[in-house]
Amino acid sequence: MPKRPLPAVLLLLALASTAAADEDHSVFRVFVGDHAAPRVTAFDLAAPDIRWQFDITGQAKLYPLAGGAVVAAVQSDDDAVQFLHSGITLENHGDHSDLEIGEPAPLGAPLTGPRPFHVVSHDGQSFINFDRGGYAAILDEAELSEGRIDPVQFQQARAHHGFVAALGEVLVSTVAAEAEDAPRLGLQAFSADGTPAGDLAPCTGIHGEAFSGAYLAAGCKEGVLTARAEGGSVAYDMLDYPADFPEGTTGTLLGGRVLQLFLGNHGADGLVVIDPASEPHLRRIALPFRRVDFALDPKLPTTGWVLTEDGSLHRIDLLAAKITGSAKVTGPYSMDGHWNDPRPRLALAGDEVLLTDPQAGLLRRISAATLQESGTIALEGLPYNLTVVGGSGLSH
């Protein structure tokens, strides 16, 4: 249940400047998961002292669904996914968006199953892969935003760490071999009932996925596999790693919303800018230290951000594939140790880069223009994963 330190009337007063009738406003609501305590904390950047706290089952990775109307708290180690209504709804009307602001709240009963992990939100549907169950749960996002949690299961041939997504008239799913450790072989198209709708596209150790424009991309040992709808089937293309790339693979991908491109990791100390349609398809950016986290900027579509283990935040020019600015923003966070150790995570909110700083118990606010810290927000425990919802619109 949510815990509110202040009466609701104070919330309404605090948000009066962002909820006046027929005025244009920008609202960014931040959701932060703790590394150790089973909770999610939410607040608005304009009023960070007014907070909501939600008790969950375990440590969560947070995903915005249904255009940010819903936040999914995926608790892989505790076999649960809990949903929160973010309280922020943006409805596009072409020439403007309508903005509705309310309180965040729990949404329906938790979705349980064996090790939920990858979440894909695309074309009005959310796909949650249950790695140890051998299936993906498919949710209609319009229904989800109204509190109706009625998943349809897509059965995979073998349980594995993978993903499922809609692409045109078919579903595409990762495929694993029938072996004890279930090595991942590639991507294949299926009809909704699980009937194969095409041949397997090889992609050794396939991991990570993102959409941009007409393309879905996934990382492989050989390169980056792209897929796009073509009639009632899927067209694939393997973009090989160039010969001059150092050893390394891509396993995490982010897709551009305005430009048709992807930003991915490559090895421990590199990023790769991926153009699925034009050559050169892959351009690598060498980082001065190992990478901690990276993000795309939704407001500045040619800009990406990456934090390295020395505590420096770097601005990336995606078109030039190079670093254009750097600044020290946290203490050092070594990438030695477990992949899930508490380290900073990045998100964007308008003109600011936000990052959790678990060692300091802070959310840091960094100006995207100057790379200087514009403020901090103290948080209990070890602030870790985060997501931001909201934007600009008219409040009627």
pLDDT score at 38? 97
- Residue showing tokens 């421990």: 268
pLDDT score at 12? 39
pLDDT score at 92? 64
Helix (H, G, I), strand (E, B) or coil at 12: helix
Name the nearest CA neighbour of 5 among 55, 52, 39, 37: 52
Q: Which two tokens stand for residue 305?
A: 């951000």
Residue 13 has pLDDT above 70, yes or no: no
Q: Are residues 225 and 240 in contact, defined by beta-carbon separation less than 8 angstroms?
A: no
In tens, the pLDDT along 185-199 reads 999 999 999 999 999
- Residue showing tokens 């041939």: 157
How far is the C-alpha of 375 from the C-alpha of 363, rounded, in Å?
9
Burial of 7 (0-12, 13-18, 19+ CB in 10 A): exposed
**Please, which contacts does 36-40 make with residues 24 or more away whose CB atoms are closer than 8 Å?**
36/342, 36/381, 36/382, 37/380, 37/381, 37/382, 38/75, 38/78, 39/381, 40/71, 40/73, 40/84
Query: How many residues would you count in the chain?
Result: 396
Task: Kindly report the pTM of this predicted structure.
Answer: 0.92
Q: Which two tokens stand for residue 166?
A: 């809609």
